[in-house]
A and B are shown apart, each in its own frame.
Chain A
Amino acid sequence: MRRANVSAAAALVFKRDLTLALRRWDEVTQPLIFYVVVTTLFPLATTPDLAQLRTISGGVVWVAALLSSLLALESLFRSDVEDGTMEQWVLSGQPLAWLLLSKVAAHWILTGLPLVLISPVVGTALGLPFDAWGTLVLSLLLGTATLSVLGGIGAALTVGVRRGSVLLSLLVLPLAMPLLIFGARAVSMQMDGDSPAGPLQLLAAIFFLALSLGPLAMSAAIRISVES
């Protein structure tokens, strides 16, 4: 036997979460169903007139994506902390930040990416024009990935708290506001015929900031959470 390197360890965490998700399929699909249901309810509650819906379609899709991502985040670290796996990760001698980032990446693939992929369909049902698809998908790609990292920090902080979901929303929602504003704005600028490059670049900047600092914050928060 020889010591496993960091990338092998991170890959194991990633693979493990995908394996687990395949065996608990119902839990993983829940946010996606929520997303589709919420966006479908909108035309029923407001107006079936596509011309009117079109003006709010980008915003509705973005709000729904934000909320369903939050819904999926609450239990991100819970079972690993409760069954003692997290302690073993902390003591594994591998950098905890990398293991957690790998876990968050798996989580995004399972919950964030499906939202992004289905969003053109959902958007079209709300009258989103075809030429805004690209902007919507790109903004949601950056937005949901950033949200997974931000939510990971929140989930790591609230993992020891009973009924932590309210606290998690309070922590993460303010941080997520810029994403919502820039994301929805990019889509509406595209629909108005303007270039959405500005808000998209801001989203990308926030994403890389979260990606570089988020894992360190997560690992610090997890170390506090396993103390109890």
Chain B
Amino acid sequence: MGPDAAVLEARAINVWRGERHILRDVSFEVHPGVFMKLTGPNGVGKTTLIRVVCGLLPAESGEILWRGKAVRSASEQFHTELAYLGHPNALKADLTARENLRFLAGLRQSLEDSDIDRALDRVGILSRGDLVARSLSAGQKRRLALARLLLADARLWILDEPATNLDVAGVTLVEDLIAEQVAGGGLVLAAAHQRLLDESPITERLELS
């Protein structure tokens, strides 16, 4: 692979929170076609690591590299190729499902109505498209956030507990979406404490402790 290959790399990441040394020399690489599953007990620093990788949180030491370049110096290019799904769904309660997608996913891509309908259909809430987000159930809100991921058209997905609040069918949906993304040459890094593609050959594990 050349130096520009779409590889995400973390080198010796260290993060302190006050007196606590949360992340100790964490290093890993994610290659195209791989689903990197981040596991570990609650409070071990999964979310912290994810936020560091995204560039939302600076690390005390260590570096994140995307395509061989430090993301700190080329963050805009990194962010155009990155879709992030955090703990909060980033939805506006007073906007409809469609409007939520148009106003947030639309910042990245110029969207047609058909794009939005296709994404809503894929996550199974097309019939709820014109309801305000406040009237959706917790699981439906998560599905709406997943639809935003699809519309981001990004090479790299970074997900924090993507299957939160989802029913069995919803967890299968997340697994399918991840598998599709990976099959298309994409990369997925996800923190998950429940079962998610555990027996799949595309899955690699990073256990934090």
Binding site for B on A (CB under 8 A): 1-4, 8-9, 12-13, 15-16, 19-20, 23-24, 82-85, 87-95, 99, 226-227
Contact = CB atoms under 8 A, between A and B. Distances in A.
Contacts of A23: 94-95
A92 B153 contact: no
Given A88-B104, A94-B107, A99-B107, 13 more contacts: A1-B111, A1-B151, A12-B106, A16-B95, A19-B103, A23-B95, A84-B88, A85-B92, A85-B104, A88-B90, A88-B107, A91-B84, A93-B76
Contacts of A91: 54-56, 79, 82, 84
B57 A227 contact: yes
Contacts of B110: 1-4, 8
B107 A12 contact: yes
A124 to B, nearest CB: 37
Nearest to B81: A93
A99 B106 CA distance: 13
- The 7 A-B pairs of least Cβ separation, nearest first, read A84-B88, A93-B80, A84-B90, A93-B79, A16-B103, A1-B109, A23-B94
Nearest to A223: B56
Given A20-B95, A227-B56, A87 B84 contact: yes
B122 interface: no
Contacts, number: 91
Contacts of B82: 91, 93
Contacts of A226: 56
Given A12-B102, A91-B54, A227-B58, A20 B107 contact: no
B103 A12 contact: yes
A81 B163 CA distance: 22
B95 A83 contact: no
A87 B92 contact: no
A83 B103 contact: no
A9 B80 CA distance: 13
Contacts of A4: 106-110
B91 A20 contact: no
B67 to A, nearest CB: 15
B176 interface: no
B86 interface: yes
